[in-house]
Amino acid sequence: MPADTGSQQLPARPDANETKSGVYPAQKPDWANLSVLHRNTLPPRSSFVLYNTRDDALSRDPKKAKAQCLSGNRWQFHLANSPFEAPAGFEKPAFDSGKWSKIEVPGMWQMQGFGRGPHYTNVQYPFNVDPPHPPYTDNECGSYLTRFRVLDDLQDDQLRLRFEGVDSAFHVWVNGREVGYSQGSRNPSEFDITEHVTRGEANVLAVRVYQFCDGSYIEDQDQWWLSGIFRDVFLLGFPKKVCFENVTIRTLLDEEYRNATLEVSVQTSAKATVRLQLLDTNGKLLSDAEAAVQDGGKLTANFTMHVENATLWTAETPYLYKTILSIGDDQFIAHRVGFRKVELKDGLIKVNGKRVVFKGANRHEHHPESGRTVPYEFLKNDLLLMKQHNINALRTCHQPNDPRLYDLADELGLWVMDEADLECHGFEIIEVAALPAEQRKLPFAERQRITRADAAKWLSDNPDWHDAYLDRAKQLVHRDKNHTSVIMWSLGNEAFYGRNHTAMRDWIKSEDPTRLIHYEPDQEAEYMDMYSRMYPDIADIISLAEKDCKQNKKPLVLCEYIHAMGTGPGNIKEYIDAFYKYPQLQGGWVWEWSNHGLVTKTKDGTPFYGYGGDFGDVPNDSNFVMDGVLQSDHTPNSGLIEYKKALEPVQIVSASAKLATIINRQDFATLDHLVCIWSVVSEQGPVPDVGGELKMPPGIQPGETAELPLPHVNEELNGEALMLLSFRLRSDTLWADAGYELAWAQVPLARNPNLGIPAAEGNGPVVATLSGSILEIQSHTSQWSVDIARDNDAPDRSFGKDWRDSLLHLAETKTRGVKWHMEDSGSLIVQMEQKFAPPVLSWSIDLASEYTFATNGSLSIKVKGTPTGLNLPKTLPRIGVTLGLPKSYQKVEWFGRGPGESYKDMKLSQKVGRHAVQSVGALWSGPEFPQECSNRTDTRWIRIAERTRGKTSLTAQFFVPSEPGTRRLFDFMVSHFDVKDIDEARHPYELEQKGQDATILRLDADHLGLGTGSCGPKTLDQYVLNTAPFEFGILLY
């Protein structure tokens, strides 16, 4: 029989607690019955609430709506290990629940201390795979009870009970009478409970929620498995005589994209006269019409309104008109609508006739304390952060988000790819495991091509699952179809491709021809409106754009790219540059928006953000859930700062001391909303009394360049100096205040290639004393200690398969020879021959180091490295030295990129300037999974001083050994952790426990770039530190 996908009435359901054995049901329960998707639910509809007056509707105030929120409080709660252990008869009003616990609704029960706790998997299912059968005995079951009285305003109405989201399936009763059943965790469910409710008295609402159901097989998204009533629950009032049932709003534009047409189709419960009013954003009435509902199979009224010279909606200019629908004088609906046209034209995705570049982010619903129950202000802050960081697009990975998000996207201006609640990635693991051994060794892309077709046979290409898939499409489209920000639908994620996707696509195209459809597993874009890829190499997307995209007249988007797990991502700019160079490349969505750590505590009460395995969850995918450009508390990390820089709306194309050429990187708007403020920074810090507003040419169109004359700086500049051009908002917006910086650039004014030399010479020679392997050097102004048996003038221990295979992590430096002599000047020269090598293998890096201890207290170090032997690692993590200083050395000052962390392929967001911190801890970026981090690159000099005695300090610069007076750029990192500490720690609190009683200063001549290799391409060639001979010099004083 076909699955129940709407209001169809099914025969009475067998009692879910009725069993033959006490464990297994006598009949298949709804939550394990593929032919029952919903029982007694109302058909899916657009998202709206009714108001009693026109003014109330225009206010959009939910407190004035004909709606009663039943959530936002504590309900009674009981959790059983399986549905068959749940309390029988709990739905009856006389049931004694006095000893039950209390639980917050909305909420996830695992986040409130119930059950086995959160469980994280990326791909693999957390239960035995036997579709469509979910677990019977290992399937937690939550029973909820609450009481409510119907508000006076709803007493005469038809009453509908609406659940915005329940994970994963549930039955509902009112006053002991069964109302229905539904599944589809992130989709709404609505029931008519008019006949079950008693007016004027307390009513008992009972809900039984199942952790897993057959639908869980298509909810295998990369996120935490959490359960419960996690979105709001409403009692909605609809007039009994006649009411709105569904509304569909479409906007059309003429060929010049100037004049607009508004089409509105309304479904009602009975014949009536419907009125439609169209207002501009300020409330001015533009059009007013009435239409009689016609009975043509559906009770429908249709409207068409025309607007000349319409103000169009874009993500850059989100202008919203207002519509008011009404029946009589006591039933009103208000919608905001933007006029825009989305089309596939000239082989490109165009909005209002113009090509769009999607500068996007993948956003899972996440809160560190409540899981997928996300408070409104927290949600809103996410979208504000996106706008503040130049992000213009949002993918609702991998399910429809909280309905309130779409209102915000309409208002703030974000392109939304709205994604169906559908993923079954776990079947790929099964198919990979079934491959012959030789095929399992194939490169990932080749192996995936083999396994995807077989994996699709389980569900996606299985006709038994047709209705379940189609239901996800219908729920998605009907709920969100009236949101202007939604410009494309996505059929889900990593569910391979099969006939059921084709059915989804066909239904959506028939229901909504005004939007485009996306689905990445359709690799050849045979059915979709675009090509889509995840984590591709830049060269590959350029090739695809130049060949397949042009030939088939379809563009390419990257639904996931620049994987942000760990420190990084690197080489963002290269992707963005390709988007602008090749028209068929239309942008992408960074993976992903935030880390998904959940707050937990150690045994002694120390809080930390947990990931897979921290909650006893087996199997798990460990820290793969910590892969965002935000930390788990949704504060930005360095990846988001770098992403913002790459996405700037205005960029410098070229510049000299007198003239800069700028380009408008927006798609629709000019740069008139920005002001340019200039200032100057030098090695001494910001130059005072210099700078001001720089007049920008008006009306710079998208994609156009313009010349920006730069002011002459008369002040005498000591050392290196740069002019900063800061592009800021001219006026307040909904997402940032006037003066907020959206873009910036620096123009060199003066360079300083000279190495800084201590001014004063000492009054006597350097004295050397050897004690064991420690060489003590004493001058008039300083004292040095060098371990001549072992040193760190070598690549650091680090990670990566190649490095592990080469045993780089086990390599040590051994001294082969030491000699020293005094110069006539009184300086001491120490020369060391060393070998850096691992056990077992036969490769090494031969090191020749020369230390010059001058009478003025300075130390000059020259290092030359020569890799030799077999099995050399192809790359090195770093080349440099590590110095151990007393922990009292805390104050750090440097001239270079900052203030945040930077690497050679993640540095453009950090300004060159003079930066300072008062403690070493302020330099630690604090990754939630300890790892390489907190580096600063393009450094000219660094000075580190004792906190209490600021005059006691150490300054470091790098130089070119062949040109001793010429300084070169270098990297540094200061912390209280050595590499072994970081390597062994899984959480920040463990790292703190391991911290050294010293300040560790790492000085690097070169460093490997970050790339995005945690899930994607390796570091680009230009940022790789290849194993090759090297040479560098360091001056310390």
End-to-end CA distance of the chain: 83
Mean pLDDT of 363-367: 98
The answer for residues whose C-beta is within 8 angstroms of residue 119's C-beta and 6 or more apart is 110, 126, 224, 225, 615, 617, 620
pLDDT for position 640:
98
Helix (H, G, I), strand (E, B) or coil at 861: strand
**Residue 796 — pLDDT band, cuts 50, 70, 90?**
very low
Q: What is the pLDDT, as a whole number, of residue 11?
A: 43
Is the pLDDT confidence value at 749 over 50? yes
The one catalytic residue among 219, 428, 494, 946: 494
pLDDT at site 24: 57
Does residue 581 carry a pLDDT above 90?
Answer: yes
* Backbone φ/ψ region at 371: left (φ over 0), alpha (ψ -120 to 50), beta: left
One DSSP character per residue, 172-210 reads EEETTEEEEEEE-TTS-EEEE-GGG--TTS-EEEEEEEE
- Given pLDDT bands bounded at 50, 70 and 90, which one contains residue 790? very low
What is the 8-class DSSP label of residue 502? H
Distance CA 708, CA 725 (A): 11
Q: What is the pLDDT of residues 218-237, one digit of tens each?
A: 999 999 999 999 999 999 99
Residues 826/764, Cβ–Cβ less than 8 Å: yes
| Calpha distance 625→605 (Å, rounded) | 23
Q: Is the pLDDT of residue 494 over 50?
A: yes
User: Contact 411/318 with Cβ under 8 angstroms?
Assistant: yes
- Got the DSSP string for 281-294? TT--EEEEEEEE-E
| C-beta of residue 867 within 8 angstroms of C-beta of residue 531 | no
Token pair of 989, please? 């609190």
Q: Distance between CA 339 and CA 320 in Å, rounded?
A: 8
Question: CA nearest 989: which of 597, 599, 607, 596?
Answer: 607
How large is the average pLDDT for residues 856-875? 92
Q: Is 928 a catalytic residue?
A: no
Structure tokens at 200: 């004027």
Strands 953-960 and 963-968: antiparallel
Structure token pair of residue 993: 């426990």
Other CB atoms within a 10 A radius of the CB of residue 75 amount to: 24
53-92, pLDDT tens digit by residue? 999 999 999 999 999 999 999 999 999 999 999 999 999 9
**CA–CA separation, 179 vs 182, rounded Å?**
10
Please, which pLDDT band fits residue 766 given cuts at 50, 70 and 90?
low
Average pLDDT of the residues in 737-745: 99
Residues 208 and 142 sit within 8 Å (Cβ to Cβ):
yes
What letter would DSSP give residue 347?
A: T
Using the structure block, give the residue that is written with the tokens 């189709």.
265
User: What is d(CA 657, CA 722) in angstroms, rounded to the nearest whole number?
Assistant: 9
Q: What is the DSSP letter of 769?
A: E
Residue 20 confidence (pLDDT) above 80: no
Residues 349 and 554 sit within 8 Å (Cβ to Cβ) = no
* Residue 779 predicted with pLDDT over 90: no
Q: Decide: 245 and 58 in contact? Cβ < 8 Å.
A: no
To the nearest whole percent, how much of the chain has pLDDT over 70? 93
pLDDT band for 444, please (50, 70, 90 cuts).
confident
Residue position matching structure tokens 């390489």 = 932
What is the mean predicted confidence (pLDDT) over 204-219? Answer: 99
Residue 559 sits at φ, ψ, to 5 deg, of: -65, -20
pLDDT tens sequence across 967-1013 = 999 999 999 999 889 989 999 999 999 888 999 999 999 999 999 88
Report which of 955, 925, 951 is spatially closest to residue 940, judged by C-alpha positions: 955
Q: Are 903 and 1011 in contact (CB under 8 A)?
A: no
Query: Are the C-beta atoms of 236 and 62 separated by less than 8 Å?
Result: no
Indicate if the pLDDT at residue 865 is higher than 90. yes
Asked if 956 and 897 count as a contact pair (C-beta separation under 8 A), the reply is no
Whole-number mean pLDDT of the chain? 93
| Angstrom distance (rounded) from CA 437 to CA 863 | 47
Distance separating alpha carbons of residues 200 and 195, to the nearest angstrom: 14
In contact, 480 and 406? CB cutoff 8 Å: yes
Report helix, strand or coil for 618: coil
Rounded mean pLDDT, 283-296: 95
pLDDT at 751: 82
Rounded average pLDDT over 465-489: 99
Query: What is the distance between the alpha carbons of residues 491 and 505, in angstroms, rounded to a whole number?
Result: 8
Q: Decide: helix, strand or coil at residue 166.
A: strand
How many Å apart are CA 329 and CA 307, to the nearest integer?
26
- Domains of the chain plus CATH, in order, are 30-238 (2.60.120.260), 258-340 (2.60.40.10), 353-424+459-644 (3.20.20.80), 648-750 (2.60.40.10), 767-1036 (2.70.98.10)
pLDDT tens for 874-911 read 999 999 999 989 999 999 999 999 999 999 999 999 99
Closest CA to 272 of 324, 328, 325, 323: 328
Residue 791: band (very low, low, confident or very high) from pLDDT cuts 50, 70, 90: very low
Tally of CB atoms within 10 A around 519: 26
pLDDT of 949: 64
What's the rounded Cα separation, in Å, for the pair 755 and 703?
Answer: 42
Across 632-652, average pLDDT: 98
Residue 107, pLDDT > 90, answer: yes
Write down how long the chain is: 1037
Question: Tens digit of pLDDT for each residue in 508-528?
Answer: 999 999 999 999 999 999 999
What is the predicted pLDDT for the residue at 627? 96
13: which DSSP letter?
P
Instruction: State how far the Cα of 49 lies from the Cα of 64, in Å rounded to an integer.
Output: 10
Q: Highest mean pLDDT range out of 347-351, 756-760, 824-828?
A: 347-351
pLDDT band at 286 (very low <50, low <70, confident <90, very high): very high
Instruction: Give the Cβ contact number of residue 732 at 10 Å.
Output: 11
d(Cα 641, Cα 644) in Å, to the nearest integer? 5
274 CA to centre of own chain: 43
Q: What percent of the chain has pLDDT over 90?
A: 83
Query: Catalytic site residue 446?
Result: no
**Sign, CA torsion 265/268/272/278:** negative
pLDDT at site 718: 80
Using CA atoms, how far apart are residues 1003 and 1024, in angstroms rounded to an integer? 18
Rounded CA separation 338/460 (Å)? 35
**pLDDT at residue 4, as a whole number:** 42
- CA gap 950, 934 in Å, rounded: 23
Strands 299-307 and 260-268: antiparallel
788 pLDDT band, cuts 50/70/90, is very low
464 Cβ partners below 8 Å, 6+ apart? 34, 132
The C-alpha atoms of residue 708 and residue 669 are separated, in whole angstroms, by 19
d(CA 817, CA 572): 45
d(CA 138, CA 134): 9
Q: Cα-Cα-Cα-Cα dihedral of 15, 19, 20, 24, to 10°?
A: 130
Residue with the bigger pLDDT between 965 and 651: it is 651
Please, is 989 exposed, middle or buried when counting C-beta atoms within 10 Å of its C-beta (0-12, 13-18, 19+)?
middle
More confident residue, 923 or 983: 923
Cβ atoms < 10 Å from Cβ of 659 = 12
Segment (H or E) for 381: helix 376-388
1008-1020: b (≥16 Cβ within 10 Å) or e: bbbbbbbbbbebb
Which DSSP symbol is given to 318?
A: B
| Catalytically annotated residue among 164, 245, 520, 560 | 560
**pLDDT score at 756:** 66
DSSP 546: I
| Burial (CB count <10 Å: 0-12, 13-18, 19+), residue 259 | middle
Contact between 180 and 195 (Cβ < 8 Å): no
